[in-house]
């Protein structure tokens, strides 16, 4: 059965459904055609944090543009919030942080948010309350808020870009490389924010090549390589080590520890360690991409 037919029932379980999405950028001024996406299928369940992973040029931003209706697929289709990608009503429920934020350099942070609030038809009081709250969350202090955003550092611009994306209190938040330009503290704050969005019942779709960040916040991932899906699924399942049995217990006496280790060894099984057993996302990613690189040689 078609993924779209199976998932667009009244329960609306999947906020995004991509079916056989393909995108070929036409040749332009003698430049060759680029097949950016080739038959990409995936679904993003409501309430999840879904991570799109892939090397530079693998098609992550292209997928995001297709989902927002900023570009048209060459073949296949996407349904977002139950509507065809690009639908204006659905778009009003989406918050989007582009790869590079385009801010009006002569406006202050306050004025920027006020401007976008007006675009969404919010009244003055709501605009002021919402922008106060967002700028607090983003850690921009009162002095910074009155400065022109054109003079902001990269990380500060990223924060105001995110505040702008959230002004309409969206149900679906799409973030293209959210941690780019952020310092380690900013990165941790961004990850905490993403988790907070999820607790508030929002769905987050993000792209990144920072594996540790994705591993920390995403519950589902898709690995893209040269426009094709190489792996998709729940992070816990993808990273579980099937041949390893793990038992965690508190207050285990030294005597019991010795007994358990003896039992494991006399049974012929192998003790690896007493710690947590989970592969790093980094290993999985390298394995998948290295396989593809060796195939294409």
Ligand X SMILES: Nc1ncnc2c1ncn2[C@@H]1O[C@H](COP(=O)(O)OP(=O)(O)OP(=O)(O)O)[C@@H](O)[C@H]1O
Q: Which residues bind ligand X (CB under 6 A)?
A: 25, 34, 36, 54, 56-62, 99, 209
Contact 277, 241 (CB under 8 A): yes
Non-local (6+) Cβ contacts of 190 within 8 A are 162, 178, 179, 182
Would you say 42 or 116 has its CB closer to ligand X?
42
Least Å distance between CB 293 and Mg ion? 19
The entry of Mg ion, ligand X, none that residue 36 binds, CB within 5 to 8 Å by partner kind: ligand X
Surface-to-core class of residue 95, CB atoms within 10 Å of its CB (0-12 exposed, 13-18 middle, 19+ buried): buried
From CA 7, how far away is CA 10, in angstroms rounded?
9
Contact 30, 15 (CB under 8 A): no
Q: 70-99: which residues touch Mg ion (CB under 5 A)?
A: 99
From CA 147, how far away is CA 109, in angstroms rounded?
7
Non-local (6+) Cβ contacts of 207 within 8 A are 51, 52, 53, 54, 60, 61, 63, 64, 175, 176, 177
Contacting Mg ion (CB under 5 A), which of 22, 38, 48, 61? 61
Q: Considering only 1-9, 34-42, 57-65, 164-172, which stretch makes contact with Mg ion by CB under 5 A?
A: 57-65
From CA 114, how far away is CA 123, in angstroms rounded?
10
Least Å distance between CB 212 and ligand X? 16
Would you say 60 or 91 has its CB closer to ligand X?
60
Least Å distance between CB 67 and ligand X? 12
- For residue 44, which of 205, 216, 236 has the smallest C-alpha distance? 205
Instruction: Say whether residue 38 binds Mg ion (CB under 5 A).
Output: no
Instruction: Tell me the three state secondary structure of residue 106.
Output: coil
Would you say 72 or 259 has its CB closer to ligand X?
72
DSSP label at residue 108: B
Instruction: Say whether residue 7 binds Mg ion (CB under 5 A).
Output: no
Q: Which tokens hold the place of 131?
A: 């922008």
Would you say 165 or 223 has its CB closer to ligand X?
223
- For residue 287, which of 234, 228, 225, 199 has the smallest C-alpha distance? 225
Least Å distance between CB 58 and ligand X? 4
Would you say 140 or 174 has its CB closer to ligand X?
174
Q: Which tokens hold the place of 24?
A: 């070929």
- Three-point CA angle 235, 240, 241, nearest 5°: 155
Q: 98-137: which residues touch Mg ion (CB under 5 A)?
A: 99
CA 125 to chain CA mean position, Å: 32
Least Å distance between CB 115 and Mg ion? 26
What is the number of the residue whose Cβ is closest to Mg ion? 61
Instruction: Say whether residue 208 binds Mg ion (CB under 5 A).
Output: no
Q: Considering only 56-64, 83-91, 152-160, 273-281, which stretch makes contact with Mg ion by CB under 5 A?
A: 56-64
The entry of ligand X, Mg ion, none that residue 159 binds, CB within 5 to 8 Å by partner kind: none
The entry of Mg ion, ligand X, none that residue 62 binds, CB within 5 to 8 Å by partner kind: ligand X
Would you say 26 or 89 has its CB closer to ligand X?
26
Contact set with Mg ion (CB under 5 A): 60-61, 99
């Amino acid at each position: 059965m078609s993924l779209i037919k199976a998932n667009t029932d009244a329960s609306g379980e999947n906020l995004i459904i991509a079916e056989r999405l393909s995108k070929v950028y036409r040749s332009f001024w003698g430049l060759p055609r680029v097949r950016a996406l080739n038959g990409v299928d995936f679904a993003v369940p409501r309430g999840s944090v879904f991570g799109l992973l892939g090397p530079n040029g693998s098609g992550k931003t292209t997928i995001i543009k297709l989902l927002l209706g900023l570009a048209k697929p060459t073949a296949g289709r996407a349904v977002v919030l139950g509507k065809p990608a690009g639908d204006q009503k659905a778009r009003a429920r989406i918050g989007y942080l582009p790869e590079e934020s385009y801010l009006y350099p002569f406006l202050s942070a306050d004025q920027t948010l006020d401007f976008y609030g007006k675009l969404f038809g919010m009244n003055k009081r709501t605009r002021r309350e919402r922008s106060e709250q967002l700028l607090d969350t983003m850690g921009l202090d009162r002095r910074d808020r009155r400065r022109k955003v054109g003079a902001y550092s990269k990380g500060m611009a990223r924060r105001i870009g995110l505040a702008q994306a959230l002004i309409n209190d969206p149900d679906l938040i799409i973030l293209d490389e959210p941690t780019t330009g952020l310092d380690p503290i900013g990165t941790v704050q961004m990850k905490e924010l993403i988790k907070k969005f999820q607790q508030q019942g929002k769905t987050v779709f993000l792209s990144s090549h920072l594996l540790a960040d994705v591993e920390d916040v995403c519950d589902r991932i898709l690995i893209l390589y040269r426009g094709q899906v190489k792996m998709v699924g729940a992070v816990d399942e993808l990273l579980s080590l099937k041949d390893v049995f793990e038992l965690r217990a508190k207050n285990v006496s030294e005597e019991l520890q010795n007994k358990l280790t003896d039992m494991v060894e006399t049974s012929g099984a192998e003790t690896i360690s007493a710690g947590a057993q989970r592969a790093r996302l980094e290993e999985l990613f390298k394995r998948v991409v290295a396989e593809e690189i060796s195939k294409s040689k």
